[in-house]
Amino acid sequence: MSSETTKDQAVEELDVRGMRKPDKHPTIFATYNALPTGGAFVLVNDHDPQHLREEFEADHAGSYDWEYLNREMRDWRIKITKLASTPLPRILVDTTTITAGTTAADVTGAAWKLEARERDLDSNIIALPPGGAIDAHTGPDLDVLIHVLAGSGQLTTELGTIDLTPGALVWMPRRSRRQFTASDQGLRYLTVHQRRQALMLDTSRAGAPQ
């Protein structure tokens, strides 16, 4: 990286214009992660990196500063400053806005998911319409915690059923058998589990095994 002076401070410059596209974002984030608190670098790019900004918001909302220094064609310069030593605790979503309208017939699958790229957990809000179901299946090879947010329904296990009502916190051990059925009120629940790259949402039938 070269050096550039901005606002009377010498700041390292990272020019990614000649890099392969797959290498750009990893290099930028590696540079950012290596900064001390209060440190900064100037990113030089050939366009406005809006997708990069979205990734910074997902991972570092409130803990970084993004300042445009130049916006000329093929010469975009952004000063990125690290304001805190780690990403900050923050509110991700207001679940009341997601759990409203549980009786909607056309809402199925993940109504929200955790977007941060660098994380140890996965989390989703699953929506089932009135009478909707997730067919009986064996769960993944990890434990899942479920918190019922709105609506109601039943969880069918290997030996019985559990009523799902708002406020219920349900533990689902790894590989346990499960089936979800929503009542005529529909059902919304939050899932939290250890991150697994291959754990994908399947909405081909009525929802996702979680």
Worst-scoring range by mean pLDDT, 4-8, 58-62, 66-70, 81-85?
4-8
- What pTM, to 2 d.p., does this model score? 0.77
Which stretches of the chain are assigned E, i.e. beta strand?
2-6, 9-15, 40-45, 64-72, 75-82, 109-113, 121-128, 133-138, 144-156, 161-164, 169-172, 177-194
Whether residue 107 is predicted with pLDDT greater than 80 in this model: the reply is no
Instruction: Identify the CATH assignment for 2-82 out of 1.10.3470, 3.30.110, 1.10.20, 3.40.50.
Output: 3.30.110
Q: What is the pLDDT of residues 132-173, one digit of tens each?
A: 999 999 999 999 999 999 999 999 999 999 999 999 999 999
Cα angle, residue 17 at apex, residues 14 and 43 outer, rounded to 5°: 30
- Residue 60 tokens, joined: 């570092």
Higher-pLDDT residue of 102, 84: 84
pLDDT of residue 98: 84
Confidence of residue 109 (pLDDT cuts 50, 70, 90): confident
How confident is residue 108, by pLDDT bands cut at 50, 70 and 90?
Answer: confident
- DSSP annotation of 208 reads -
What's the pLDDT tens digit per position in 39-71?
Answer: 999 999 999 999 999 999 999 999 999 999 999
The pLDDT, as a whole number, for residue 86 is 96
Residue 1 has pLDDT above 70, yes or no: no
pLDDT at 8: 44
CATH 3.30.110 positions along the chain are 2-82
The segment(s) of the chain belonging to CATH 2.60.120.10 are 95-194
Please state which CATH class domain 95-194 belongs to: mainly beta
